[in-house]
Amino acid sequence: MLLRPLLSRAKLLGSRPSSSLARLAPLLRSQSRPYSSSVDSSVEPIRGMDLGVAHSKLLLRTVASMRGNMELQAQGVSEGDSKKMNMCQAINDAMRHTLATDDTAVVFGEDVAFGGVFRCSVGLAEEFGNERIFNTPLTEQGIAGFAIGMAAIGHTAVAEIQFADYIFPAFDQIVNEAAKYRYRSGNEFNVGGLTIRAPCAAVGHGGHYHSQSPEAFFAHVPGLKVVVPRSPIQAKGLLLAAIRDPNPTLFFEPKILYRSAVEQVPTDDYVLPLSKAEVVRTGKDVTVVGYGAQMYALENAVQMIERDMPGVTCELIDLRTILPYDADTVAESVTKTGRLVVAHEAPRTQGFAAELAAEIQERCFLRLESPIERVCGLFVPHPLVFERFYMPCAVRCYEAIRRSLTY
């Protein structure tokens, strides 16, 4: 069952499928990587286009572009000081603001006190002390349970699960305790001060235990909020909003962006709205929706479509919050364009794209010009050497958008 999708994926990327996976070895060896998801830029439909985060126009790399951002203008921070930060540094800055302004705030998790495996909490213990920044035993269920207890007695608890793949031992605590705490007490008690951070998604060499995207598991749970940022500016503003929101929130951080995504980030305190999608590129012919690191594959797919189909424009939307998600913005766009393509790294079967597709079909059925397209990870455990075939890359997104437009 695994062989067929991998061979089909090889054909899509320009190599000839064979009866043996061994025939794919030369193709895999030929790819230079920092990441195994890199592809041959000479194949159709890429044809020499620069792909990926390093060339993205979604990132606000200059002071001028940062100051032109309407959300930052609305927060009153666009004209203030800014600093070049990657996403890891932006998350660190958000936690620093929280600790400096909220005496009840604590940050904890495995290896957090010395900076964490990704260095997102580096320097915080030295600045705020070991009573507020501390390590925990290797027990995700214990981390979540302890965080719930801290939040229940009035603390702002920022807990880290070292990899999102290991959040499942904490599933019972998050789903049956944190999510239901307010409801079962009739709003007498709550754990709204709880935020759980977790690095998620593919990184090019993580394999099946360090690459998963579990957001859909939690998007099924009333009482939680689920957020996935795409960039440093977004990460800082959304994390501060998540920490201050009066509901327990899961904050999934695409770890491939920790160092690769760099922006000019305001140094002042600011929040970005939860449950509000952002239209990052306007268009009239097709609505394209994603979140997190998938936004960069979608950006490249849109660029290739607009190059190859003159006159076509694509509306690109970043959901940002998965629960509760902003169906209104997506429906408004689809009412205009008549077409929808949704993409995410998690497997297609029962993935979040299915929820969004069903919701938009109900709202926009009479306006749709083509079936809603979903571009997702394959329904297999996240592979190591074959990760490039698993990923919903720019080529697969391009083909889905083209199918929608030519239906």
- Position 182 scores a pLDDT of 97
- Report the candidate in 226, 239, 160, 173 with the shortest Cα–Cα distance to residue 199: 160
> What integer pLDDT is reported at residue 168 of this predicted model?
97
Q: Check residue 22 and give its pLDDT.
A: 52
Q: Which of 97, 155, 210, 344 is labelled catalytic?
A: 210
- Count other Cβ atoms within 10 Å, centred on residue 1: 6
Neighbour tally for 31: CB within 10 Å: 14
d(CA 352, CA 158): 25
The pLDDT of residue 298 is 98
> Edge-to-edge strands of the sheet including 249-254?
133-135, 105-109, 156-160, 194-200, 249-254, 225-227, 321-323
234: tokens are 């977004």
- 101-112: pLDDT as tens digits: 999 999 999 999
3-state SS track over the chain: CCHHHHHHHHHHCCCCCCCCHHHHHHHHHHCCCCCCCCCCCCCCCCCCCCCCHHHCCCCCCCHHHHHCCHHHHHHCCCCCCEEEEEHHHHHHHHHHHHHHHCCCEEEEECCCCCCCCCCCCCCHHHHHCCCCEEECCCCHHHHHHHHHHHHHCCCEEEEECCCHHHCHHHHHHHHHHHCCHHHHCCCCCCCCCEEEEEEECCCCCCHHHCCCCCHHHHCCCCCCEEECCCCHHHHHHHHHHHHHCCCCEEEEEECCHHHHCEEEEECCCCCCCCCCCEEEECCCCEEEEECCCHHHHHHHHHHHHHHHCCCCCEEEEECCEEECCCHHHHHHHHHHHCCEEEEEEEECCCCHHHHHHHHHHHHHHHHCCCCCEEEEECCCCCCCCCHHHHCCCHHHHHHHHHHHHHC
Check if 208 is active-site: no
Structure tokens at 374: 């979903």
- Respond yes or no: is residue 140 known to be catalytic: yes
Of the listed 110, 140, 263, 345, which one is catalytic? Answer: 140
What is residue 8's predicted lDDT score, i.e. its pLDDT? 42
Give 193's contacts (C-beta < 8 A, 6+ positions apart).
104, 150, 151, 154, 155, 156, 157
Other CB atoms within 10 Å distance of the CB of residue 129:
11
Per-residue pLDDT of the chain (407 residues), as tens digits, is 444 444 444 444 444 444 444 544 454 444 444 443 455 667 678 888 889 999 999 999 999 999 999 999 999 999 999 999 999 999 999 999 999 999 999 999 999 999 999 999 999 999 999 999 999 999 999 999 999 999 999 999 999 999 999 999 999 999 999 999 999 999 999 999 999 999 999 998 999 999 999 999 999 999 999 999 999 999 999 999 999 999 999 999 999 999 999 999 999 999 999 999 999 999 999 999 999 999 999 999 999 999 999 999 999 999 999 999 999 999 999 999 999 999 999 999 999 999 999 999 999 999 999 999 999 999 999 999 999 999 999 999 999 999 999 99
pLDDT for 46 equals 87
pLDDT tens column, 235-259: 999 999 999 999 999 999 999 999 9
Query: Under 8 Å CB-to-CB from 43, ≥6 apart: which residues?
Result: 13, 14, 395
